[in-house]
Each structure stands twice: as structure tokens, then as C-alpha cells.
């Protein structure tokens, strides 16, 4: 493997998790493309989106290559493999503010993370998505606040449709992970993860699993007016 073309300081790998239909794929596209896509992949596989950003801390600028992995529909079958979680350094855990079920499932996703992530206490940002659908909202702020406090999770309300708070959510997670990196001297698990992160994604997962920008055969789904 060659590292000659690496022109960033850190490659960060994040995962987007949450029940099917909460808006993971839309949120990811909104973050990288600034648009609300309505045509999506529901095939089995793994997708990722990438973005470059600069993170400044303690007077230094770090060039970050951010890779955010999506589940591409596998979450529907609860069939995310251990390998899927293993290489991720941070997690965006999404639920749908218009679905109590997706909110109740958050604790199950946290349990999955506790079992499969590189540490029992990984960096997670909880996102209540579809905040544009005010009339359909069924999950209250109090409910989320109690859960976020119980699990000590930062919480942010997002809309993949309008773009509200998407960048903030991702950058909050970048900040958390970068803080961990800066404090990680001597943390063996995290050092190993960072060493691995120099690998290219399709080497890490196998090219047959990587499906980028793939449109589905299904007709476009849309449930808002933006």
C-alpha cells in the first residue's frame, strides 16, 4: 500500500446508526452535498460519503479527511456485522422525532455499540431527525433530555430536509473524537484504531461491499415539501 497521496493529517471514520427510515442516508447526503436527495439505495451493502474539513485546536490546524459510513439498509435486518462497527471512531445515532419506536430503539443501538465498538464508551452524538415535521412530532424534548442525560450523550435536533443542524451535529462529533485523539497518548485501543485508519476504505472492507452514489430502482420517496 502506498501513502504517497495522503494529503491530510487525520482520516476519521464515523458510522451513522439508527432504525430504518429515520433519515440516515438523507442526513449524510445533506451533509456532503448540501441537498435533500430523495432517491436511495436500499440494497444490501455498505456506503460511505467523504468530506474534507479543517479542525483547529490549541493553535494548530489539522486537515481532516472524514469518511462517514452508512448501513445501506442492513439495519432493517439487524444484521450489521461486528466488522461494520470495528473501525469506526465516532457514531451519529439517529432517531426520528415523528416515531416513538425509533426513539425507543436508541437504547438497543447503544447496547450494540457497547458490545461492538472499539471501546465500551465511544463518542456518540444523538440526533433527533425530521425536526421540520413539527405537526407530526411525537417525541418530546423532555423524553430525549432524560435519555441523553442518562447515557451522557450530546443531543441535537436535525433536519435532513432543510439542513438544520446537520453540519453542527457532525462537527460536534469531530470535536469529541479529535479531543479523544489529542488525549489518547497511551490509550492502546485508540492508537490501534488510528493506525488502522491509514488504510484505504476499500482495502478495509473489500471492494465488493463498497457501493457509492448508487441509485435505487424504487420510485423517489418524499414526505415533506422542501
Query: Which residues lie near ligand GDP (CB under 6 A)?
Result: 20-26, 38, 40, 129-130, 132-133, 159-161, 221-224
Q: How far is the CB of 198 from ligand GDP (least distance, A)?
A: 29
Min CB(80)–ligand GDP separation in Å:
13
Cβ proximity to ligand GDP, 13 vs 130, nearer residue: 130
39 binds, among Mg ion, ligand GDP, none (CB under 5 to 8 A by kind): none
Which residue lies nearer to ligand GDP by CB, 5 or 135?
135
Report, in Å, the least distance between residue 110 CB and ligand GDP.
Answer: 17
Q: Are 68 and 39 in contact (CB under 8 A)?
A: no
Q: Decide: 197 and 87 in contact? Cβ < 8 Å.
A: yes
Beta strand ranges found along the chain (DSSP E): 10-17, 47-57, 60-70, 90-96, 123-129, 155-157
Residue (126 or 178) nearer to ligand GDP, CB: 126
Residue 57: CB minimum distance to Mg ion, A: 32
Helix (H) or strand (E) holding 206: none
Q: Which does 159 bind (CB under 5 to 8 A by kind): Mg ion, ligand GDP, none?
A: ligand GDP
Residue numbers of the site for Mg ion (CB under 5 A)? 24-25
Q: Is the dihedral of CA 162, 171, 88, 64 positive or negative?
A: positive
Shortest Cβ distance from residue 71 to Mg ion (Å)?
6
Q: Which three cell numbers stand for residue 102?
A: 425509533
Which residues make Cβ contacts (< 8 Å) with residue 84, sequence separation at least 6? 15, 46, 69, 71, 74, 116
Residue number with CB closer to Mg ion (24 or 130): 24
What Å distances lie between residue 194 and 107, 143, 162, 197, 202, CA to CA?
27, 35, 34, 5, 17
Amino acid at each position: 500500500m502506498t501513502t504517497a497521496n495522503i494529503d491530510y493529517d487525520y482520516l476519521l471514520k464515523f458510522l451513522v446508526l439508527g432504525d430504518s427510515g429515520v433519515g440516515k442516508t438523507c442526513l449524510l447526503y445533506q451533509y456532503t452535498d448540501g441537498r435533500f436527495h430523495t432517491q436511495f439505495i436500499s440494497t444490501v451493502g455498505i456506503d460511505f460519503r467523504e468530506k474534507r474539513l479543517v479542525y483547529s485546536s490549541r493553535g494548530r490546524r489539522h486537515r481532516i479527511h472524514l469518511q462517514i459510513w452508512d448501513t445501506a439498509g442492513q439495519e432493517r435486518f439487524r444484521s450489521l456485522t461486528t466488522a461494520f462497527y470495528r473501525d469506526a471512531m465516532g457514531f451519529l445515532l439517529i432517531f426520528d422525532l415523528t416515531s416513538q419506536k425509533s426513539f425507543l430503539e436508541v437504547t438497543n443501538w447503544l447496547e450494540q455499540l457497547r458490545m461492538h465498538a472499539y471501546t465500551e464508551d465511544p463518542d456518540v452524538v444523538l440526533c433527533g431527525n425530521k425536526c421540520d415535521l413539527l405537526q407530526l412530532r411525537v417525541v418530546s424534548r423532555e423524553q430525549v433530555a432524560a435519555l441523553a442525560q442518562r447515557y451522557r450523550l450530546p443531543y441535537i435536533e436535525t433536519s435532513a430536509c432543510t439542513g438544520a443542524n446537520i453540519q453542527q451535529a457532525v462537527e460536534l462529533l469531530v470535536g469529541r473524537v479529535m479531543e479523544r485523539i489529542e488525549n489518547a497518548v497511551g490509550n492502546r485501543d485508540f492508537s490501534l484504531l488510528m493506525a488502522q485508519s491509514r488504510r484505504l476504505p476499500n482495502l478495509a472492507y473489500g471492494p465488493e461491499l463498497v457501493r457509492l452514489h448508487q441509485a435505487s430502482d424504487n420510485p423517489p420517496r418524499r414526505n415533506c415539501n422542501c
